[in-house]
Chains A and B, each alone.
Chain A
Amino acid sequence: MSEKMIHLTIDGVAVEVPPETTVLAAAEQVGITIPTLCYLKGLAPDGSCRFCVVEILGGRKAGLFTACSEHCAEGMEVFTRSEKVVEARKFVLELLLSNHDNNCFSCPQNGACKLQDYCLEYGVMENVFAGRRQDAPVDDTNPYFDYDPKKCIMCRRCQRTCEQITGKNIISLTNRGFATKMGIPYDHLWRSSNCGSCGNCVEVCPVGALASKSNKKNYRAWEVTPTATTCPLCENACAVELLVKGGKVVELRAAGVPGADSLPCGRGHYTYWKTLDAGRVTAPMVKDPSTGVLKETTWEEALAAVAEHLKNNAAVLTSRSTTDEEIACTEQIAGAAGVRHGVFGGYGELLRAAHGADALLIYDADAASGCRSGQNCSYCQIYCDTVDVSALNETNFVAVATPALTELTAVADVVLPMPAFSEKDGTFRGKSLHAALSAPAEDGLAALLKRL
């Protein structure tokens, strides 16, 4: 600690901080919360909402300063809730409310909105300024979320996240003064931008301006139960929460602040957690030799067929996107049967790994989302597996363990049911997965291992 420490008081509490600490951070250090709207952990302060003002006496200057950007100085006396501060914050809320579509009933963010929360806290219950309001149509051209400019408070959290965290820089403020607008520049629609639908802008929007389509259609904040888990889709192992309503997952959101705590991608945010209603595998199936169509069968028949073919030149191949425990299970199956084991990412890797095998047991762990091959919806830029797997028809025997029917099960002789991501407990990259829902059927691979 060669740095000279700075001493100040916040609401009468003495605080010691290193130089260049913001008042906001210093207050946090002694457990004093200062309300913020535009501030976002991990990013340089924007200082645009002006809601975080505190009153500063002593030191070099006096007056109202934004806590998120102002640095502590020796001898400062900071007051976070003085009359002046409360009056100023009320004024900011009144202004924001006067330029906001206050139709809270129809707003997806109802109950989880920072503007709503603060208005309640500061007793701003009605619009005191009748006047002009921003007005522009909702842009619903992104497949996963909508943008309603009438609700935007211009905090630029979305813009700064897209620019500084995801590195895409898709959205920005245009125009100036009262006509200032957030959105895709030059009045383009979301569809025609280079947006990768990562959804992190939606995560950070403090109001209902950016909201997922699922949020809009399926749920409100108070109806959902969150389950903390880990997204096993890729190496990043994002800490996420699954929101469940009425026995269904309705949303995945980042745990904490995008970028600072976790940064789910578009596939994680919008498709991976989905469990299809149609096409869910709920019982073992075998291919009817006469019609070539899959039909449900008994566990005994299905497991016996797989066990019979897993020998000699067979292979057990498993998707990389699943728990360590499930991968270990497939390894044990391969070991018990005395055949080779492999791991694959997309279907391209699967085909290479399958090359030369007479019989295959494939665990297609991330099949449940339905956002897979062929659906290439051209502009979401979410990873789409478009590899044609019909070449596997050449293999003598193919068993697929999967939560859902896909083009891969179309080449299968036997199908075993598996839990989807939201139904799994386990470990991935040292982090825990927790089931938000129970699986509709027994775990096919576990049953197979027991049988062997």
Chain B
Amino acid sequence: MAKTMDVLLKGAGTFDGTDVAAYKAQGGYQALERVLGMSDQAVLDELLKAELRGRGGAAYPAGRKWSQMYKIPITPKYIVCNADEGEPGTFKDRELLRDMPLKVIEGMTIAGRVLHSARGFIYIRGEYRAIQRVFQKAIDNAVKAGYLGKNICGVEGFDYTITIISGAGAYVCGENSALLNSIEGRAGRPRIKPPHLAEVGLYKKPTLVNNVESYADLTVIYTQGADAFLELGVPGSGGTKLVCLSGNVKNRGVYEVGLGKVTLRELIFDPAFGGGIPDGKELSFYHLGGQSGPIGFPEQLDTVYDHDSLWDAGLSVGSGAVVVADGDVCIVDYCRKVMEFFVHESCGKCTPCRIGTMRVLELLTDLCEGRGRPGDTDRLERAITQISALSACGLGQSANKAIRSCLAHRREDFLAHEQGKCPAGSCAMKGGEGA
């Protein structure tokens, strides 16, 4: 029943994605041409109606973000594409950037047109060096074909350029204000808001930041219309979503699904998707949306994969990552590894994240190495609750999510570790090795 969709990635890999003629043969640039015939307001209304939620992780409604930005009377405005793709287990923007660069360029150009910006930036993670070259070639080709540069599509005064900025490996630079600081050549630490980026963004000017996949989705919305886009998904979650399956699952890779059209069980076990757990092992848990997302357990497998249904189950789409773990993994030890990530990636600016994540890591390490004390589970819960409530940016605010899910569903595992026992028998305490 469950099936993969072929909308966003339609034709991906079957043609040269940097070639404008080939892209147009696949239906490319129809969206931009349609937008050129519409009023700004009609374009904004269509986006609102499509119920596109940001694909970078926070799932903020794109239509709302654009409408707020449109109202700000300050010029110039900047359009930024977040291609930092730093969330572990996330590798779907890579597909678009590599195979469909012109689609991303077209989406960004639509944003430039509607929000009256002549300047786009795309911040591509440093590890995607080869893809940066591909993307630059696509930009150059679009310029040659008159789809970037001056008087685009022959429209007087429609000027727009895109510049690639390379990231340098910091996860926190995916946070939109840290990303803008990084483009400006400052230390990649998040800014305090207010002021919001829609008013005071890049070089203190109004700035739109959206994810790669969000920009690509625009081409679907303006080619097929908002109604068709909404129908690909469900109310509240329009469109398709690129899901990245990895970990202990048979068929790892990127899958396109209609939001609200598949369950987590289908995603992990259906032969059209993950195909189940290899080597005849049992599913232990799955981590959604990268390290900053929640963890799901077998008892939640029937949850439908869309923003609202997952949210109601205490889960979330996030970046679209689904990392599957089989029976041998100790949940406490896994939480420790997640916390190691946040300790390593914290920018160090604010107290709860800079010191708090370290304290949580120390607590989890004690639990995993047989130094747990009665009450540690409560201490852990208090610390992660405060850290998420107090941190200045999304990094610290979501560092708690994985642990929170585990405490809600597998609290007994933590309590066992307080007593020096590991139910999975796999953490450092039992295995005698590791941290």
A interface, CB within 8 angstroms of B: 20, 45-51, 53, 63-64, 66, 69-71, 87-88, 91-92, 95-96, 98-99, 129, 131-132, 153-154, 172-173, 175-180
- Complex contacts, B389 vs chain A, CB 8 Å: 63-64, 88
Q: Are A95 and B348 neighbours in the complex by a CB distance under 8 Å?
A: no
- Complex contacts, B90 vs chain A, CB 8 Å: none
With A64-B390, A71-B194, A87-B386 as contacts: A96 and B351 at CB distance below 8 Å = yes
Most chain B CB inside 10 Å of its own CB: which residue of A45, A69, A96, A131 = A131
A95 interface neighbour in B192, B349, B359, Cβ under 8 Å: B359
Q: For the complex, what is the distance from the CA of A313 to the CA of B193, rounded to whole Å?
A: 69
Q: For the complex, what is the distance from the CA of A49 to the CA of B354, rounded to whole Å?
A: 10
- Further 16 A-B residue pairs, CB within 8 A, beyond A49-B351, A91-B390, A173-B187: A47-B192, A48-B192, A48-B349, A48-B350, A53-B390, A66-B192, A66-B392, A91-B383, A92-B352, A129-B359, A132-B358, A132-B362, A154-B349, A178-B346, A178-B358, A180-B354
- Verify if B345 is at the interface (C-beta below 8 Å from A): yes
- Complex contacts, A176 vs chain B, CB 8 Å: 170, 172, 189, 346-348
Q: For the complex, what is the distance from the CA of A172 to the CA of B390, rounded to whole Å?
A: 23
- Complex contacts, B355 vs chain A, CB 8 Å: 95-96, 98-99, 178
- Verify if B133 is at the interface (C-beta below 8 Å from A): no
Q: Which of B327-358 contact A (CB under 8 A)?
A: 343-352, 354-358
B348 interface neighbour in A63, A96, A172, A178, Cβ under 8 Å: A178
- Verify if B391 is at the interface (C-beta below 8 Å from A): yes
| Residue in B closest to A51 when the chains form the complex, CB atoms | B351
A-B contact pairs, 14 of them (CB 8 A): A47-B350, A50-B392, A64-B389, A88-B386, A92-B351, A92-B352, A98-B355, A99-B355, A173-B349, A177-B346, A177-B347, A177-B348, A178-B355, A180-B349
Q: For the complex, what is the distance from the CA of A129 to the CA of B387, rounded to whole Å?
A: 15
With A87-B386, A129-B362 as contacts: A50 and B354 at CB distance below 8 Å = no
Q: For the complex, what is the distance from the CA of A2 to the CA of B192, rounded to whole Å?
A: 28
The 9 closest A-B pairs by CB, nearest first: A180-B348, A47-B192, A177-B346, A95-B355, A91-B386, A131-B362, A176-B348, A178-B358, A50-B390
Q: Are B390 and A178 neighbours in the complex by a CB distance under 8 Å?
A: no
Q: Are A48 and B392 neighbours in the complex by a CB distance under 8 Å?
A: yes
| Residue in B closest to A179 when the chains form the complex, CB atoms | B348
Q: Is chain B's binding surface mostly helix, strand, loop or mixed?
A: helix
- Complex contacts, A131 vs chain B, CB 8 Å: 358-359, 362
- Complex contacts, A95 vs chain B, CB 8 Å: 351-352, 355-356, 359
| Residue in B closest to A172 when the chains form the complex, CB atoms | B187
Nearest CB in chain A: distance from B193 CB, A: 8
- Complex contacts, B346 vs chain A, CB 8 Å: 176-178
- Complex contacts, B343 vs chain A, CB 8 Å: 177-178
- Complex contacts, B348 vs chain A, CB 8 Å: 154, 173, 175-180
With A132-B358, A178-B346 as contacts: A69 and B390 at CB distance below 8 Å = no
Q: For the complex, what is the distance from the CA of A204 to the CA of B392, rounded to whole Å?
A: 22
B94-105 CB mask vs A (1 if < 8 Å, else 0) is 000000000000
| Residue in B closest to A69 when the chains form the complex, CB atoms | B192
- Complex contacts, A53 vs chain B, CB 8 Å: 390
Nearest CB in chain B: distance from A111 CB, A: 23
- Complex contacts, B194 vs chain A, CB 8 Å: 20, 69-71
- Complex contacts, A96 vs chain B, CB 8 Å: 351, 355
- Complex contacts, B192 vs chain A, CB 8 Å: 45-48, 66, 69
Q: For the complex, what is the distance from the CA of A129 to the CA of B356, rounded to whole Å?
A: 10
Q: For the complex, what is the distance from the CA of A132 to the CA of B192, rounded to whole Å?
A: 28
Most chain B CB inside 10 Å of its own CB: which residue of A20, A47, A64, A70 = A47
- Complex contacts, A50 vs chain B, CB 8 Å: 350-352, 390-392
B239-253 CB mask vs A (1 if < 8 Å, else 0) is 000000000000000
Q: Are B354 and A178 neighbours in the complex by a CB distance under 8 Å?
A: yes
Q: For the complex, what is the distance from the CA of A58 to the CA of B404, rounded to whole Å?
A: 26
| Residue in A closest to B362 when the chains form the complex, CB atoms | A131
B189-212 CB mask vs A (1 if < 8 Å, else 0) is 100111000000000000000000
Q: Are A98 and B351 neighbours in the complex by a CB distance under 8 Å?
A: no
With A177-B354, A178-B343 as contacts: A47 and B392 at CB distance below 8 Å = yes
B74-118 CB mask vs A (1 if < 8 Å, else 0) is 000000000000000000000000000000000000000000000
With A69-B192, A177-B347 as contacts: A88 and B358 at CB distance below 8 Å = no
Q: Which of B387-422 contact A (CB under 8 A)?
A: 389-392
Q: For the complex, what is the distance from the CA of A98 to the CA of B379, rounded to whole Å?
A: 15
| Residue in A closest to B191 when the chains form the complex, CB atoms | A47
Most chain B CB inside 10 Å of its own CB: which residue of A53, A63, A91, A92 = A91
| Residue in B closest to A92 when the chains form the complex, CB atoms | B351
Q: For the complex, what is the distance from the CA of A280 to the CA of B113, rounded to whole Å?
A: 76
- Complex contacts, B390 vs chain A, CB 8 Å: 50, 53, 64, 88, 91-92
- Complex contacts, A48 vs chain B, CB 8 Å: 192, 349-351, 392
- Complex contacts, A175 vs chain B, CB 8 Å: 348
- Complex contacts, B358 vs chain A, CB 8 Å: 131-132, 177-178
Q: For the complex, what is the distance from the CA of A91 to the CA of B194, rounded to whole Å?
A: 24
| Residue in B closest to A22 when the chains form the complex, CB atoms | B194
| Residue in B closest to A178 when the chains form the complex, CB atoms | B358
- Complex contacts, A87 vs chain B, CB 8 Å: 386
Q: Are B345 and A177 neighbours in the complex by a CB distance under 8 Å?
A: yes
| Residue in B closest to A175 when the chains form the complex, CB atoms | B348
Q: For the complex, what is the distance from the CA of A370 to the CA of B192, rounded to whole Å?
A: 46
- Complex contacts, B382 vs chain A, CB 8 Å: 91
Nearest CB in chain A: distance from B276 CB, A: 38
| Residue in B closest to A93 when the chains form the complex, CB atoms | B351
- Complex contacts, A49 vs chain B, CB 8 Å: 350-351
Q: For the complex, what is the distance from the CA of A64 to the CA of B350, rounded to whole Å?
A: 15
Most chain A CB inside 10 Å of its own CB: which residue of B187, B348, B352 = B348
- Complex contacts, B356 vs chain A, CB 8 Å: 91, 95
- Complex contacts, A154 vs chain B, CB 8 Å: 348-349, 351, 354
Q: For the complex, what is the distance from the CA of A66 to the CA of B356, rounded to whole Å?
A: 17
Q: Which of B290-325 contact A (CB under 8 A)?
A: none
